[in-house]
Amino acid sequence: MAIPTVVAFHYTLKDKDGNEIDSSAGGTPLYVMLGKGHIVKGLDELLPTLDKGDKKNVVIQPEDGYGVVDESLRMKVPRSQFPPEAELKVKMQFQTSPEPGAPVFTIMHIDEEEMIYLDGNHPLAGHELHFDIEVVEKRPAEMEEIAHGHAHGPNAHGGGHNH
Q: What is the pLDDT of residue 155?
A: 60
For domain 71-119, the CATH architecture is Beta Barrel (2.40)
The answer to whether 116 and 82 have CB atoms below 8 angstroms apart is yes
Mind listing the pLDDT tens digit for each residue in 123-157? 999 999 999 999 999 999 999 999 999 999 876 54
Q: What is the DSSP string of 37-71?
A: SSS-HHHHHHGGG--TT-EEEEEE-GGGTT----G
Q: pLDDT grade, residue 99 (50/70/90)? A: confident
Q: Are 74 and 121 in contact (CB under 8 A)?
A: yes
Among residues of the chain, what percentage have pLDDT more than 90? Answer: 81
Q: What residue segments make up the domains of the chain, in order of their start?
A: 5-66+125-153, 71-119
Q: What gap in Å lies between CA 32 and CA 7, rounded to an integer?
A: 6
- State whether the Cα torsion 22-151-65-53 is positive or negative: positive
* Mean pLDDT of all residues in 68-87: 94
Q: Which amino acid is at 72?
A: S
Give the pLDDT confidence score for residue 161 in this predicted structure: 45
In the predicted model, what is the mean pLDDT of the chain?
91
> Mean pLDDT across the stretch 43-57?
96
What pLDDT is recorded for position 2? 84
Residue 31 has pLDDT above 90, yes or no: yes
Q: How many CB atoms lie within 10 A of CB 122?
A: 18
Q: Does pTM surpass 0.85?
A: no
Q: Is the pLDDT of residue 160 over 50?
A: no
| CATH fold of the domain at 5-66+125-153 | Chitinase A; domain 3 (3.10.50)
